[in-house]
Homo-oligomer: A and B are copies of this chain.
Amino acid sequence: MSEPKSKSDLPPGEIPVPKAVVSRLSLYLRELQHLVRDGHQRTSSSQLGRLLGFSDAQVRKDLAYFGHFGHPGIGYRCDDLIKAIRKILGTDRDWPVAMVGTGNLGRALLGYKGFSHQGFRIVAAFDIDPQRVGATIEGVRVFHLDQLTQVVEANHIKLGLIAVPAPAAQAVADQLVAAGLEGILNFAPVTISLPDHVRQVGVDLAIELEQLSFSVVSRANTNGADGE
């Protein structure tokens, strides 16, 4: 949230990094992985910027938060930059993940291939519905929520996904915290309170659509005058 201090004061890795920069890192990583898949070994700030709709200055500035990756006249080596970004994002390791809730959304997330590409492996699912407990969905066993602590410890799980109805989300979050999780991705459309040491990212799909309707409506209102 806070503005970055002067970068020269602090070594890379200790500079507070604005949220927007971190989310752009994920976009750079995604494009770099596509470039490698398409056979490219090198890229440049202008190519990355063009692919993502950012200026090349923006790309260079973002990456400079974390050290010096580029080589003048050569650009970036895709593999090196991928490795560096994965290290920054913490996805240079495997993250076993717990999934709570196996309704429609939970099931879709269990089948979502994009997670494992980035090192996130859903290793256990939890529910309280006797019809669901004991089932295997997309290769993932569904446990009763009562077994949470035990399964979390056995699998060294640090991250959890919440895909339960809104009224149940806070109680589930409390149980995840008690079981020792350090980060929660919350898909329930409600704000949950967590202790300071546990990190939270919320994804509310209706809110994403609202952001879209806002930009469509405000564009119509200003008749396109306010481009972005």
Give the contact stretch, choosing among A72-80, A100-108, A127-135, A139-147.
A100-108
Q: By the criterion CB–CB under 8 Å, are B214 and A89 in contact? A: yes
Q: Does A208 lie within 8 Å of B203, measured CB to CB?
A: yes
Decide yes or no: A211 and B26 within 8 Å by CB, A105-B108, A196-B227 being known contacts: yes
Whether A222 is near chain B, meaning CB under 8 Å from some CB there, is: yes
What separation, in Å, do the CA atoms of A52 and B218 have in the docked complex? 25
Given A90-B214, A213-B91, CB of A203 within 8 Å of CB of B203: yes
User: What is the CA–CA distance of A107 and B110 in the complex, to the nearest angstrom?
Assistant: 13
Q: Is A206 an interface residue (CB 8 A)?
A: yes
Stretch at the interface among A27-35, A39-47, A149-157: A27-35
Whether the Cβ atoms of A219 and B206 lie closer than 8 Å is no
A9-41 near B? 1/0 per residue, CB < 8 Å: 000011011010011011101110010000000
> Which chain B residue lies CB-closest to A111?
B104
Whether the pair A214, B108 counts as a contact (CB closer than 8 A) is no
Q: In the assembly, how many copies of this chain are there?
A: 2
Smallest distance from the beta carbon of A100 to chain B beta carbons, Å? Answer: 15
Asked if residues A190 and B30 are in contact (CB atoms below 8 Å), the reply is: yes
Given the complex, which residues of B lie within 8 Å of A214, measured CB to CB? 22, 25, 88-90
Shortest CB distance A161–B (Å): 8
A209: interface (CB < 8 Å):
yes
Interface residues of A in 50-101 (CB under 8 A from B): 51-53, 88-91, 95, 97
Does B89 lie within 8 Å of A191, measured CB to CB? no
Taking A30-B191, A120-B213, A201-B209 as known contacts, 14 extra A-B pairs with beta carbons closer than 8 A to each other, sorted by chain A number, are: A23-B211, A25-B210, A34-B190, A89-B210, A95-B209, A105-B111, A114-B206, A115-B205, A115-B209, A118-B206, A183-B212, A183-B216, A200-B212, A201-B211
Q: What residues of chain A have their CB less than 8 Å away from a CB belonging to chain B?
A: 1-2, 13-14, 16-17, 19, 22-23, 25-27, 29-31, 34, 51-53, 88-91, 95, 97, 104-105, 107-109, 111-112, 114-115, 117-118, 120, 158-159, 182-185, 189-191, 193, 196-197, 199-201, 203-219, 221-222, 224, 226-228
